[in-house]
Amino acid sequence: MGGEENKSDSENEGGGRKKKKVLTTRFDLPKESELRVECKLNRFFHVAVVPNSGTCEIFGSEIGSSSSSALSSSGGVSSSVGGTNTTKKKLGGGKWAFFTYSGCTIELEETNQTNATNANSKIHLTTKKTSGEGAGGEDFGDDTGTRNEDSDDDLEKSGDEEDKDKEEEQAIEIAYVSEETPMVSYLNVHGVLEAKRKKARDCSSALVSSDDAVNEMEKEEEEEDTKKKRKRGEIVEGEEQQEEKENDGVRQKSSAGPRVLIVGPADVGKSSLSKILINYAARQAWSPLFIDLDLGQNAISVPGTISAAPIDHPINPFEDGAHVKSEMPLSYFFGDVTVTENSKEHYKFLVEKIAEMMEARNSKNEHARHSGCIVNTMGWIEGLGLELILHAVKSLEIDTVLCLGQERLFQTLSKQFAKDAALAQQQQQKNKKNKKKTSSSDDDGKKVDAAVEILSLKKSGGVVERTTEFRRKTRDDRFREYFYGFDFVSNPLSPVAQSAFFSSVSFYKVGGGAKAPTSALPIGQEASTDPMRVASVIPSMSLVNAIVAVSHGKTQSDLLTSNVAGFIHIVEVDMHAKRFTYLSPNPGQLPNTNLIVGNVKWFPEN
């Protein structure tokens, strides 16, 4: 299970002072264990599963070299859509976990540029062995891999110098095997969601069969009865259409798949769990909708947005990295990576727009309705953050909440959902007693008869707390990937720098600044600033380095309700010439001249 290292031949560069070394490390993974790898940002490594040693998965997407699926034989998820068999694939900087249900052997390969004076240095790789939960992160084995290097200078360095050289040369900071993993519990959650999807599909089939079984005699009797009621004036114009619409709504809700919301504090693995559940569903031929409400670390679009994307095939981390690539993403530009009291109404409004688009999709696509949705959230769980979570549960009509990594949040939400369920039951009883006063608007079209189910899950032991600097760098990398592609080092995309006059476009911003408190205003007067107001922006030097959204909205009034076509990065502003230079993913004219400005900026490193 320990790491065994081999080094390929070195290539001398720069008069023999530099060497390019390829370091290969092999790990034997036992059953139901995972290999955790932490790679430096802006660096890359290769991973391969040794032929015929088994299979493993990354974010629930299967990789391996054997012809048969080891997962299905060991109680894992069988791949009806197909896995990603690979011999050698490239991954970028970040934290990765390779899990296996039946055991396999994995090889990691990294290419390093180092000084030729790094003689007799050692790379220490640890193997983590734990026999139960709560063992902590300090229980490391003492397995080490040793690399011997031939160099022109046969020098021995002190421990401090050796560590310094090691830090400079390694792309992989640490790699270890752990048998303490929550993946089995995540698989159990997938089993519960899979049962709900099948139940929704079977329910829909039963409803169709029931409708087809209605005989012609019953139809004729209903038509005759309707005619009589019309003559007596008992049917109001449009009542039949309203009743049919309500019946369709009941059918759709009864045949809806699971709607899952993942909550928890920062750095507990919410994004990873959401991608695991999405991939498991896609491998079973479902097409769930992935919704990411995390402004700072959005997996579908750039930071500062909330987005949704239908997933009909497993996410390929070797092409998309840790992000979700979709041909039809739906993104709304919030314009900031945090929510304040002044901007919370804007955030809630965008969540409701996502909910509207999901309902429109489900009403036209039966398979999508059965597949359900997976929703990732921010790591803000107190105060306003908790308010936003509860709003998302209501707006998206969530029926299952997965609480990851904190018991306090689990208890808080459990009490709230129990209270909501009791109030809903009281409302239903009241409606039954007052049928004449009850209308479709009383419950606002929401499903009030089903309580929200909440499950508590443990976070993975491989999840570590990210620093503020690390978060900033990952956001910068996300912008870089948007314009230059995932593999922006060896296979970059080609964004285009273009110029435009201020007069050729229109800049707007949602919100009119800080909203004055009521106590600061004269008696009886309300705050005049509308946080939902779309205001024009006068071009200035403050636009430099701004990430600007290109809206689909044709008019100023459409900008608030319209999703975005894409983003540009303003790199230069010339106030004298009244023009600006921007970086665009594609050449040619912008799809729209209405641009939305926020507080999101990107400062590329030279």
| Predicted local confidence at residue 355, as pLDDT | 97
Last residue of a domain, one of 163, 180, 197: 180
| Predicted local confidence at residue 182, as pLDDT | 92
Phi and psi, residue 467, nearest 5°: -75, 165
150 pLDDT more than 60: no
Domain membership flag for residue 230: no
* Paired strand residues for 5: 25
Residues 286 and 174 grouped into a single domain: no
52 pLDDT more than 70: yes
Q: Report the alpha-carbon distance of residue 265 to residue 382 in Å, rounded.
A: 9
Tens-digit pLDDT profile for residues 417-460: 999 888 888 887 887 777 655 444 444 444 445 689 999 999 88
Give the residue, 304 or 119, on which the prediction is more confident.
304
The pLDDT confidence band at residue 252, using thresholds 50, 70 and 90, is low
Residues 353 and 390 grouped into a single domain: yes
Determine the residue type at 354: I
Q: Report the alpha-carbon distance of residue 6 to residue 23 in Å, rounded.
A: 6
Last residue of a domain, one of 141, 160, 180: 180
Residues 135 and 259 grouped into a single domain: no
Structural domain containing residue 557: 494-514+529-601
**591: CATH:** 2.40.30.330
Mean pLDDT of 341-369: 95
Give the residue, 74 or 322, on which the prediction is more confident.
322
| Predicted local confidence at residue 491, as pLDDT | 61
Residues 373 and 269 grouped into a single domain: yes
Of the segments 215-224, 288-297, 319-328, 487-496, which one has the largest average pLDDT value? Answer: 288-297
Determine the residue type at 494: S
Residues 402 and 273 grouped into a single domain: yes
Of the segments 141-145, 148-152, 565-569, which one has the largest average pLDDT value? Answer: 565-569
The pLDDT confidence band at residue 251, using thresholds 50, 70 and 90, is low
Contacts of residue 97, defined as CB under 8 A and 6 or more positions apart, other chains included, come to: 34, 35, 36, 37, 58, 181, 272, 460, 462
Lookup result for tokens 């443990």: 458
537 pLDDT more than 90: yes
Binding-site positions for ATP read: 34, 95, 267-272
In this structure, are residues 598 and 335 in contact, taking their beta carbons and an 8 Å threshold? yes
Percent with pLDDT over 90 in the chain: 48
Residues 498 and 542 grouped into a single domain: yes
Mean pLDDT of 285-305: 94
| Predicted local confidence at residue 144, as pLDDT | 33
| Predicted local confidence at residue 32, as pLDDT | 93
Domain membership flag for residue 131: yes
Across the chain, mean pLDDT equals: 78
527 pLDDT more than 70: no
| Predicted local confidence at residue 234, as pLDDT | 57
The pLDDT confidence band at residue 330, using thresholds 50, 70 and 90, is very high
Other beta carbons within 10 angstroms of residue 574's beta carbon come to: 13
Domain membership flag for residue 121: yes
The DSSP element (H or E) to which 345 belongs, if any, is helix 344-364
Closest by CA position to 105, among listed 177, 53, 30 = 53
Coil/strand/helix, residue 7: strand
539 pLDDT more than 50: yes
| Predicted local confidence at residue 351, as pLDDT | 97
Lookup result for tokens 């300090």: 138
Residues 462 and 500 grouped into a single domain: no
The pLDDT confidence band at residue 141, using thresholds 50, 70 and 90, is very low
**9: CATH:** 2.60.120.1030
Domain membership flag for residue 521: no
* Paired strand residues for 292: 307, 376
591 pLDDT more than 80: yes
Residues 331 and 376 grouped into a single domain: yes
| Predicted local confidence at residue 484, as pLDDT | 87
143 pLDDT more than 80: no
Residues 462 and 374 grouped into a single domain: yes
| Predicted local confidence at residue 485, as pLDDT | 82
Residues 301 and 344 grouped into a single domain: yes
Residues 170 and 260 grouped into a single domain: no
Instruction: Indicate the range of 70-74, 405-409, 570-574 predicted with least confidence.
Output: 70-74
Domain membership flag for residue 209: no
Tens-digit pLDDT profile for residues 203-239: 877 655 554 444 555 556 666 776 666 666 655 555 5
Domain membership flag for residue 68: yes
Q: pTM for this one? A: 0.78
Q: Report the alpha-carbon distance of residue 136 to residue 131 in Å, rounded.
A: 11
Residues 340 and 392 grouped into a single domain: yes
Q: Report the alpha-carbon distance of residue 147 to residue 110 in Å, rounded.
A: 13
* Paired strand residues for 454: 401
Give the residue, 141 or 83, on which the prediction is more confident.
83
- What is the tally of structural domains in the chain? 3
Binding-site positions read: 34, 95, 267-272
**371: CATH:** 3.40.50.300
Domain membership flag for residue 442: no
160 pLDDT more than 80: no
12 pLDDT more than 50: no
The pLDDT confidence band at residue 286, using thresholds 50, 70 and 90, is very high
Domain membership flag for residue 384: yes
Other beta carbons within 10 angstroms of residue 541's beta carbon come to: 9
Last residue of a domain, one of 133, 160, 180: 180
The pLDDT confidence band at residue 69, using thresholds 50, 70 and 90, is very low
105 pLDDT more than 90: yes
Contacts of residue 418, defined as CB under 8 A and 6 or more positions apart, other chains included, come to: 451
153 pLDDT more than 70: no
